[in-house]
Copies of this chain bind each other. A is one copy, B any other.
Amino acid sequence: MKHTVTAKDVAKLAGVSQSSVSRVFFEGAKVSEKTRAKIIAAAEELGYRPNEFARSLITNRTKIIGIVMKGVQNPFYPQVLKQFAAAFKKKGYSILFVHTNNDEIEAEDVETLLNYNVAGVIITDAVMALTVGEEFKKNKIPVVFFNRKLNSEEFYSVSCNNLDAGRKVAEYFFDKGVSEMAYIAGDADTSTSRDRQKGFQEVLKQKKARYRHYSSDYTYNGGFKTAMHMVAEGDLPSAIFVANDIMALGVLDALKENSIGVPGQTKVIGFDNIEMAAWPAYQLTTWEQPIDKMVHATVTYLLEEIAEYTGAAETFEVDGRLIERSTT
């Protein structure tokens, strides 16, 4: 067990009460200048470091934001994590990184967030049971769902306007003279995959075009296997909208394996605009998610709710845009 210098040690050396020390370091200016000077001198002599946890017990606040994340294999999420870490650092907040193996946040992850009395929670590619949400509300801990839209209006959520994106992708394909198209979905239980599909399908319906759907799982291997299966079926569509980039890269590799020319024989559009989409091996046309704006909206909401908790819920959507490369 290690011994750290405590407020008690400082109080003893300064010849003042422990609560005076606390007032100096945690609460502001409610001590006389003379006492303050004595305390600062003693603290410097001892190398006293006011503990964030002690501070949190007094202010009942921590400067920790919990980020729950599952798919670090998808480069989109490390990029998001990095941007959150940078944005919150500027505001004096640190990141508690909670990696969940399941789609649904595990009970112990929630325990962790509550035990550390985090100031706010960001949930990315994970699902949260309603009872868990209630637990956060009871403790007045603001929660943001990032890159997920909720069915209920119970929580604040930030995402790209996926419905609109799906529509625009379909219209783009029609403008290119294509009418035979398919959608490769991500995990079926995600709002992102459903909304992208919905917008896409809507336009196809309007134009009375045949809609084809393939289920996959938002991974490279999922995209690869799905495209191999599509090729084996022998009825390849002339355009494929893939629900995210990492799957789309798998699709492109599978098409290459089968010597199918892109965009000649079939066109491919992904979603996210991860770094790899721009690599010469892929040059993937994709719908860019405006991560900057999404991160900004999330940080702004959380800081407001931390300053004064209202529990305000809203579905905040940001427009993305098509990045044309050589797969269309």
Binds B, one of A96-104, A149-157, A199-207: A96-104
A289 CB, nearest partner CB in chain B, Å: 17
Query: Residue A220 contacts which of B96, B140, B275 (CB distance < 8 angstroms)?
Result: B275
Bound Cα distance from A98 to B86, whole angstroms? 9
Q: Considering the chains assembled together, what is the distance between the CA atoms of A294 and B112 in angstroms?
A: 26
Interface residues of A in 44-102 (CB under 8 A from B): 47, 49-54, 56-57, 59-62, 64, 67, 72-73, 75, 77-79, 81-82, 85-86, 89, 94-99, 101
- Flag if A115 contacts B49 (CB, 8 Å): yes
Q: Choose among B52, B115, B249 the residue that contacts A279 (Cβ–Cβ < 8 A).
A: B249
A256 is an interface residue with CB less than 8 A from chain B: yes
Give the distance in Å from the alpha carbon of A115 to the alpha carbon of B52 in the complex: 5
Is A130 close to B, CB under 8 A?
A: no
Q: How far is the CA of A114 from the CA of B72 in the complex (A)?
A: 27
Using C-beta atoms within 8 Å of the partner chain, give the interface range for chain A.
35 or more
Smallest CB gap from A54: residue in B: B57
Whether A72 and B79, one on each chain, are in contact in the complex, defined by CB atoms closer than 8 angstroms, is yes
- Whether B96 lies near A96 (C-beta < 8 A) is yes
A175 at the B interface (CB under 8 A):
no
Contact A73:B2 (CB < 8 A) given known A51-B57, A53-B53, A98-B85: no
**A241 on the B face (CB < 8 A):** no
A259 at the interface (CB under 8 A from B): no
Contacts of A140 in B (CB 8 A): 2
Instruction: List residues of chain B with CB within 8 A of the CB of A33.
Output: none
Q: How far is the CB of A73 from chain B (nearest CB, A)?
A: 7
Contacting residue for A51 out of B98, B115, B253, CB 8 A: B115
Task: Kindly identify which residue among B47, B108, B117, B276 contacts A53, using a CB–CB cutoff of 8 Å.
Answer: B117
* Alpha-carbon distance A279/B86, docked complex (angstroms): 31
Check A117 against B51 for contact (C-beta < 8 Å). yes
In the complex, which residues of chain B have a beta carbon less than 8 angstroms from the beta carbon of A275? 73, 220
Q: Does A32 contact B (CB under 8 A)?
A: no
> Are B1's CB and A60's CB within 8 A?
yes
Chain B residue at smallest Cβ distance from A252: B281
**Residues 1-36 of chain A, each 1 if its beta carbon lies under 8 Å from chain B, else 0:** 111100000000000000000000000000000000
Interface centre among A67, A257, A280 (most CB of B within 10 A): A280
Given contacts A52-B117, A81-B97, 19 further A-B contacts (CB under 8 A): A1-B61, A2-B139, A3-B60, A4-B139, A49-B114, A49-B115, A51-B57, A53-B57, A53-B117, A57-B57, A72-B79, A86-B101, A94-B96, A94-B112, A220-B275, A253-B279, A254-B280, A256-B280, A281-B282
Nearest 3 interchain pairs by C-beta: A53-B53, A85-B99, A97-B97
Q: Which residues of A contact B (CB under 8 A)?
A: 1-4, 47, 49-54, 56-57, 59-62, 64, 67, 72-73, 75, 77-79, 81-82, 85-86, 89, 94-99, 101, 108, 112, 114-117, 138-140, 220, 224, 249-250, 252-254, 256-257, 275-276, 279-282, 309
